[in-house]
Amino acid sequence: MRAAVLLCGDLESAAVWAARADGEVHVVPHLCERPEEIDSVLRPGQVDRLVLGLCSERGPNAEVQTSCRRLGIDPLGVEVMALGGVSPGPGRVLLAGAVARVKAFEGSRPENVKLVRPERVSRRSFLRLSAFANTSVPSVDPDTCAGDRGCRACIPACPREAIAWSRGRIRLDREACEPCGLCVTACPAGAIVQPTCTAAQLEAQVVAILSERAEEPTGIALVCDRSEPPETHEGWIPVRIPCVGMAPATWLLAPLLMGAGSVAVVPGERGCSPRAHAAVRDRVDFIRDVLRLAGDPEARMADGPDLERAPVPGAPASFAGNPFEPSTASAVIRSILGVRGPSGLSLPHPGSPLGLVRIRADACTGCGLCAGACPTGALLVDESEGAVEITFDARACVPCGQCIPRCPETIAGAITLVPAVDLERLGRGREPLYEGGTARCVACGGPIAPLAMIERVTKLLGTEHAPAAAVAAKYCMECRVSVPV
C-alpha cells in the first residue's frame, strides 16, 4: 500500500518533517488555502493512501474528496491532520502514526459513505455540484451478523436510534447515524465495521508511534473525534477515535501491552451520549482495578490532570497478536493478570469486557435456546444420543446478554450473566453447565425433547391435560398423530 504525505508549506516544521520522514513526502506551498489542488502534485494511480498535514483543523471537504477520487484514492481513508503549532518531535511521531493508520485502511463499501449535509446549499455550490462532502459511517456485514439468530445487541447501543431490524436484517439508517462507533464494539459477532477505525488501524498507528519514540516513556491518549486535543506533556500522543464510548476495556489495556507506559481517554465535550460517558467511567475503573491487582502503578491508567505530566515508563511489548481485536479479549486480560495477578482471581465489574454465565440445573429445561442465541459461540448445545449438554467457554463470552431474554425459564433464574473476569474459569476453557437426558419416542426411538422440559411442560399442563401430556412424553411429533385419542 503506497502512501504519500502532503504538508502545507506554511507549517514551521514542514521541511524538518519532510527531511526525516520515510516514504513519499511533498511540501506544497499554501496547501491550506487550496487543498483541492493535490492533483497537481500527485498523478492518478501514484499512491493509494494520503495524509494531509495542514495548519488547522478541517472537516470533510468536497473538493479535496473529488481530487482524491481523480487520483484513485478512496477519500474516506485520507487522514487530515492539524499540525499548526506542533513541535518537530511530536509532529514526526503524529505523522508516522497517521501514515501507518492510512496504510492499514482496507477501503470502504458504498454503505460506509454518508453525504454530509451542508447547513445551507448556496446556488454557487449547487451549480458546481460540489456541495456534498462525504463522511464515513459503519456498515453491517449480513454474512457475519447474528441478527437472524435473534441478536439485537447493536440496537440499544446506538444513541441516535439509527439501527433497526427491518425486512429480515439489521439495517443502519445513514441519515440518522452520527458516527460514534458504539455499535461497532457493541456487536458481539464483529459484523459492524467502521472502516476508518478498525483494530488493524489502531494497532498499526500505536506500533508506529511507539517505534518513533523508541525508549522514551509514551502515553497513548484515546481522544474523541469531537474534542479538541488537550494540552498535554509531549510524551502523550493522541489517537483519535469516533467516540471514546466505543473503546472496550481491552482497547485501554492494548497500548500497555504494546509498550506504552500509560493510557488515557479524553471524552468529547459536546453531543456525546451520557450512557457512553458512564460506560467509559466503568471501563476506566475496571482497568484501574485490574492494574492494582496486577501490582501495576495506577498511574498507567491516567486521568485528565495526569496528562500534563510525563507518562510512566512502559514495559517491552509482550503480546502476540493484535490486542485491539475483540477475539483477543481474554488473552489480553490473562496477559495482564495471569502472571502477576492473584491466582483464583474473580473480578465482577460492570466495565469487564468478559462475562460469566451460570445455569441452575434445577431450573434449566435443556432447551438450548440460550446457545442458539449466543453470537460468539460461548454457549453451545450438544444433543447427542440420549443426552443434552450445554457448555460454556468464558474466553468467548462478551457479556452481550443475548442469551438471557431467549431463556423461557428466566423468571425461575435458570440462566444468569455477570460481567466478570474469573482467571480460573478462563483457564478451564469450555466446561459443561447443564447435562440432562433426552426422552425417546416409544414408537420410532427418535428424540422427543429433554426430560427436564417434558417434566416442566407436564407440570404446567396440570391434571386437566394429563392424558395429552402423557402422550407428548412418549411419542415424537410425527408418531403422535397416529396415537388414538
Residues contributing to the site for other proteins (CB under 8 A): 62, 66, 69-70, 72, 74, 110-111, 113-115, 117, 120-121, 123, 126-127, 129-130, 132, 134, 142-143, 167-168, 174-175
> Which of 77, 450 has the CB closer to other proteins?
77
Smallest separation (angstroms) from other proteins to the CB of 295: 50
What DSSP state is assigned to residue 366?
Answer: -
471's grid cell: 402422550
- Residues 42, 71: contact at Cβ < 8 Å? yes
> Which of 57, 148 has the CB closer to other proteins?
148
| Spatial CA neighbour of 239 closest among 284, 287, 205, 277 | 205
> Which of 48, 79 has the CB closer to other proteins?
48
The secondary structure of 255-277 as a DSSP string is HHHHT-SEEEEE--SSS--HHHH
Q: Where are the alpha helices (DSSP H) in 117-272?
A: 123-127, 154-157, 182-186, 199-213, 249-258
CA distance 467 to 284: 58
342's grid cell: 492473584
> Which of 123, 459 has the CB closer to other proteins?
123
> Which of 134, 273 has the CB closer to other proteins?
134
Q: Return the residue matching grid coordinates 487530515.
A: 80
> Which of 143, 215 has the CB closer to other proteins?
143
Smallest separation (angstroms) from other proteins to the CB of 36: 11
What DSSP state is assigned to residue 311?
Answer: P
Smallest separation (angstroms) from other proteins to the CB of 11: 28
> Which of 120, 270 has the CB closer to other proteins?
120
Smallest separation (angstroms) from other proteins to the CB of 294: 44
Smallest separation (angstroms) from other proteins to the CB of 133: 10
Cα–Cα distance list, 248 to 332, 347, 386, 389 (Å): 12, 16, 41, 32
Smallest separation (angstroms) from other proteins to the CB of 80: 17
Smallest separation (angstroms) from other proteins to the CB of 71: 9
- Residues 419, 350: contact at Cβ < 8 Å? yes
The secondary structure of 16-51 as a DSSP string is HHHHH-SSEEEEETTTTT-GGGGGGTS-TTS-SEEE
Q: Residue 402: exposed, middle, or buried by beta-carbon count in 10 A (0-12, 13-18, 19+)?
A: buried
> Which of 142, 295 has the CB closer to other proteins?
142
Smallest separation (angstroms) from other proteins to the CB of 110: 4
